[in-house]
Amino acid sequence: MDELAERFEENRAHLTRVAYRMLGSASEAEDAVQETWLRVARSDTEAIDNLAGWLTTVVARICLDALRSRRHEELVPEPIVHIDDGPEDEAILADSVGVALLVVLETLTPAERLAFVLHDMFAVPFSEIAEILERTPDAVRQLASRGRRRVRGAAPRADASLGRQRELVAAFLAASRAGDFEALVAVLDPDVVFRVRGGDIRPATVHGADEVARTVLARGRPLAPLARPAIVNGVAGAIVGPLDDPISVVAFTIVGDRIASVDVIARPKLAR
C-alpha cells in the first residue's frame, strides 16, 4: 500500500490538471482526485501495466459523472490567481489553462468536453476515450472535433510573451481609470469578446472593440482604481479588491499584440 500511495502521488499533479480542465473547479478537481485514490486503494493494481493511463481513465470517469449530475446552468470557473509582483515560473505558466477556455468548455456537452480535453490536451487515444464513453472511436473523434471547433472560434490561445501581456493589461487598466475611450480601443482587437460571469450579475457577452470599450467604461470605471495586476490562470490579468475577498477577477487573452478577450468573474471563488 505504501508503494501504491507513492506511485499515486507521483501522478497527483497530472490527475489534478485533468480534473480541473474537465470540471473548471479546483475544489471539485481535488474531490475527484481524492475519489480516484479511494478507488485505487480498493482495486487490484498489480496486473496494471500502465498505472498513469489507468488513473487518467478513472479520474475521467469520475469527472464525467460529476458533469452529468450538474444542473443545466453553467458553472462559473474558479480562477487560479497569484498577485503579479515579479517573474513567474514559465513552466508553470505554460501548463496553465485560460479562463476563456474554461468558460467555453462549460458550453460543451459532458461527452464533448471529455473527448476534447482527454484527446487534445492530454493525447489520450480515441480508442481509450471510447471505452469511457461507451461509444465507437469514430463517434468520439466527432465529439472532439465539435469541441475543437467551438473552442477555436471562442477561446483563442494567447500568443504574446508574459512581459507583453503585462504591458497591454497595464495600458488597459490605465485607460479604464482615465476614462480614455480611444486609448482603450487601441489595445483591443477589433473582434474582442467581453464576458461577465458570476455573483449576482446576469451573464453577458459583448463583441467588438467600440462596444467593449463603452461597456468597460460604463460598468468598470468606478472599480478600475481598485484593480491591480495579477497572474490569472497563467496569464497576465487583474484582481479587483483584496485577494481574500475579491470583487472580481479579470482574465485577458492577448493575440496578435491586441487583447482578444476579456473575461470578468464577479465574486469569484478562487482556487487555492
- pLDDT given for residue 91 in this prediction: 43
3-state secondary structure of 222: coil
Using left for φ > 0, alpha for ψ between -120 and 50, and beta otherwise, residue 198 falls in: left
Q: What is the pLDDT at residue 207?
A: 95
- Residue 47 pLDDT greater than 80, yes or no: no
Q: Mean pLDDT of all residues in the chain?
A: 88
The model carries a pTM of: 0.83
In 157-192, which positions are buried (b, 16+ CB within 10 angstroms) versus exposed (e)? Answer: ebebebeebbbbbebbbebbeeeeeeebbebbbeeb
In this prediction, residues 256-266 reach a mean pLDDT of: 92
pLDDT of 73 above 80: no
Asked if residue 127 has pLDDT above 60, the reply is yes
d(CA 115, CA 69) in angstroms, rounded, equals 18
255 pLDDT more than 50: yes
**pLDDT tens-digit series, residues 84-117:** 665 554 444 445 788 888 988 988 999 999 999 9
pLDDT of residue 4: 79
Question: 90-95, long-range: CB within 8 Å, 24+ apart, which pairs?
Answer: 90/162, 92/234, 93/162, 93/231, 93/234, 93/235, 94/234, 95/17, 95/234
Res. 1 pLDDT band, cuts 50 70 90: low
Question: What's the pLDDT score for residue 199?
Answer: 81
Q: Reply yes or no on whether the pLDDT at 48 is more than 80.
A: no
Q: What is the mean pLDDT of residues 35-51?
A: 82
**pLDDT at 100 (0 to 100):** 86
All domains in the chain, ordered by first residue: 2-72+81-154 (1.20.140), 162-266 (3.10.450.50)
